[in-house]
Amino acid sequence: MSQHRKVLIAAPVHRILTDWLTANGYECMVQEQITQQQAFDRIRDCSGVITSTRLQLNRELIDNAPMLEWIGRMGSGMEVIDVQYAQAKGINCFSSPEGNANAVAEHALGMLLSLNKRIIKSNNEVKQGLWLRDENRGVELDGKSIGIIGFGHTGRAFAKKLMGFDVQIMVYDKYNQEDYPKYVSKASLEDIWQDADIISFHVPLQEDTYHYMDAAFIEKMRKPFVIVNTSRGIVIDTYALWDGLQKKKIRGACIDVWEEEPLSKMSEEMRALLDSIANRPEVVLTPHIAGYSYEAIYKMSKSLLSKIVIHG
């Protein structure tokens, strides 16, 4: 491997990755807060790029990197990379979905339990000097039907976490119909609309998952339900979510991702909608941190490293 290859690192990574790159002749430019425009200027002589959601590796940026050999994605969503165009130019593209699947699954379960057992709401009330028991009577997972839409790394990890509860786990995946573990049942969307008390999304962002949960989806649900979304914000039509909450078609919502994020990039209209939804007691919101644990940073870095070593 020749010396002085440069790698632009636009995401938090573990030193296991940067140490190996440095030891193997790469110069690591760690710039976690880099903007798209800054990257356009600094990517020209880079052999590799590591990003999360900060950079869009689109045609324009790729065309400005004639020496680029590989792109590494910390996480699973490859929508930030024009993979087809990159591969056509001989650039390898790697993701690391196995690295943060457990973190996402734990977070989804934690949000769901916090919502059902009124943990966050009652915690805030006690801090304000309120001791409200009847108003915070919880709901158990026991006996509930949970629909998992999308059964890749994170969907499977979430199902595994649910094994410890006496729940029916229904799985629908448009693309993967094989190799389902015995503790889940293969379901159609119609099955989920008919039976699910809780729905959790674990799908990538692509054309057929845009506003997957819209007004029509909610209307097809036979029972009031809880929605959990740790995938991509735009998978849920936020206006439909708001309407469903108001009409009590949606019993509760655990949302880690938003249609427009972060807050600094949010339109006034979407920010007002976020504030309205956030103020509802049956909603738990977090700022896109489900897959962002300390352990996940290590595991994603290790996953990318293994792929760079073999193919980079």
For the chain, the domains span 5-95, 100-285
Rounding to the nearest 10 degrees, give the CA dihedral for residues 102, 107, 109, 113.
Answer: 160
8 A C-beta contact, residue 147 and residue 199: yes
pLDDT over 70 at 301, yes or no: yes
Confidence of residue 54 (pLDDT cuts 50, 70, 90): confident
Q: How many CA atoms lie within 13 A of 289 on its CB side?
A: 8
Per-residue confidence (pLDDT) for residue 1, from 0 to 100: 42
Write down the pTM of the prediction: 0.92
Cβ contacts of residue 19 below 8 Å, gap of 6+? none
Shared fold status for 5-95 and 100-285: yes
pLDDT over 70 at 4, yes or no: no
What is the average pLDDT across 105-120? 98
For the domain 5-95, what is the CATH code?
A: 3.40.50.720
- State the catalytic residues: 232, 261, 288
**3-class secondary structure, 92:** strand
- Positive or negative CA dihedral for 294, 236, 204, 182? positive
Give CA separation, 48 vs 66, 278, 304, in Å. Answer: 11, 39, 12
Tokens linked to 299:
């595991």
pLDDT over 90 at 173, yes or no: yes
What is the average pLDDT across 145-156? 97
Taking the C-alpha atoms of residue 52 and residue 3, their distance in angstroms, rounded to an integer, is 26
Per-residue confidence (pLDDT) for residue 2, from 0 to 100: 45
What is the average pLDDT across 82-105? 96
8 A C-beta contact, residue 70 and residue 92: yes
Q: What is the mean pLDDT of the chain?
A: 95
pLDDT over 90 at 242, yes or no: yes
What is the average pLDDT across 241-245? 98
Per-residue confidence (pLDDT) for residue 53, from 0 to 100: 84
What is the percent of the chain with per-residue pLDDT over 70, rounded to a whole number? 98
8 A C-beta contact, residue 14 and residue 7: no
14-46: b or e for each residue (b if 16 or more CB lie within 10 Å)? Answer: beebbeebeeeebebeeeeebeeeebbebbeeb
For the domain 100-285, what is the CATH code?
A: 3.40.50.720
